[in-house]
Amino acid sequence: MDLDLKGRRALVCGSSQGMGLAIAKELSEMGASVTLFARNETSLQAALKELAPGDHDYLVADFDNLENVKKQVEKGLEKGSYEILINNSGGPAPGPLANASLSEFEVAMNRHLHVSHSLVQMLLEGMKKAGYGRIVNVISTSVKVPIVGLGVSNTVRGAMASWSKTLANELGQYGITVNNILPGFINTARIESLVKGKSKSLGKSETEVEEEMKKTIPAGRFGEPTEIAAYAGLLCSPSGAYINGTSLRIDGGRTGSI
Which tens digits make up the pLDDT trace of 45-86?
999 999 999 999 999 999 999 999 999 999 999 999 999 999
Q: What proportion of the chain, given as a percentage, has pLDDT over 70?
A: 100
What confidence score (pLDDT) does residue 191 get?
87
Measured CA to CA, the distance from residue 36 to residue 51 in angstroms comes to 10
- Phi-psi label, residue 199: left if phi above 0, alpha if psi -120 to 50, beta otherwise: alpha
Its pTM stands at 0.96
pLDDT score, position 90: 84
Closest residue by Cα to residue 44 from 30, 28, 61: 61
Place 94 in a pLDDT band, splitting at 50, 70 and 90.
confident
> What pLDDT band is residue 161 in, cutting at 50, 70 and 90?
very high
pLDDT by residue (tens digit) across 183-193?
999 999 888 88
Q: Which residues pair with 178 in a beta bridge?
A: 135
User: Looking at the domain 9-185+224-250, which fold is it?
Assistant: Rossmann fold (3.40.50)
> CA 221 to CA 234: how far, in whole Å?
23
Mean pLDDT for 154-170 is: 97
Over residues 194-206, the pLDDT tens digits come to: 888 888 888 999 9
